[in-house]
Structure 1
């Protein structure tokens, strides 16, 4: 587990990266601008920083220069941007950035870059008081899943970018108990989680007779997140009905 700071002015990107990295076992803090990033860095040293280049107050390259100038660039920094030029990426690398990721960021590239960044950590990990934020928004650039609220007890959501491995599960109309009983414990953890989530959402859709409003309330997700989640899992609400239970 590592402490990772995500700095990006887009709420959806911050929350999406927080959720993905959180599912990988990391503790994530977020900053929506350079000033918040400065404050977080002054209070602790993260194991890794994901830093957006284009931000409204101070751009990421300028912030990187500040950290280098002030002797605060003691952690690996990975730059992110959807509009940066090669020259910008080269400059960031020259200043001290470890890597550069172009948006939209592919999941495997993100995880690989994070793993490489943590392996190059310049200082031992230090405990910090980061609190993982609750996901309330999303983007289309990377597939994702939503974090349940703190009172929510079922297993954590899987990384939905790893779905679609040809795994067979119970018919969509079966109750969750029947679906869950068909989940093999020999599957990789993420695939088993996907299977459980399909069964879980199918159960609630059948129970609530396809009402997305009631299912959103039951599962603790916003309707927008629920629609995206079902699409990612391949669950079709229209094919489920209460009489199927």
Structure 2
């Protein structure tokens, strides 16, 4: 039997996703991921994506203020989408497995990014990235196509990356999962920064990382396939 989606169902899903963005946006500061109006969230929706508006404090964002953006970058809303909408769009275009993106400026991830350092396999939780490292994308001015291209490259085969002199990005299947991943990346960044002060961290080898990735896959915490843009 074929089931048809009604208009009410479509409206309900749109509203639910908007409410999720608002709810998780309010968690950015308490979770230590961002401050003020920095950072942005999005979810894939209706041949495009929903994203937080530009320059609006999270406590002032309502579901109606969340901006729907088409894949060509167009939108019909009184508010502008986040100035970083471009890399959200390009991540969704390059990664059919990704349905949510979180961009933030947490202190330890950003500190490593200011040094243009990635995070190696110094702890087994590197598996949250979907690979054996969290790369640091090259520096380009925010909101530019150059930055977007660098982000897509750094995320190739990964679920998170740092942005040189800027911040970090996490992606995932749901917004809840992606927020969890962003917090885990910041925890890894803090641990790695502390370990560097103590000495030279010992790194896990490929076999050890692969074993953890397989265990994480069984738990459904990461998504893996064999395509060049997969995780």
Tell me which interval the TM-score lies in, with the shorter structure as reference length.
under 0.3
Q: Output the TM-score relative to the length of structure 1.
A: 0.26
Q: Output the TM-score relative to the length of structure 2.
A: 0.27
Which structure has the bigger radius of gyration?
1
Which structure ranks higher in relative contact order (CA pairs < 8 Å, sequence separation ≥ 6)? 2
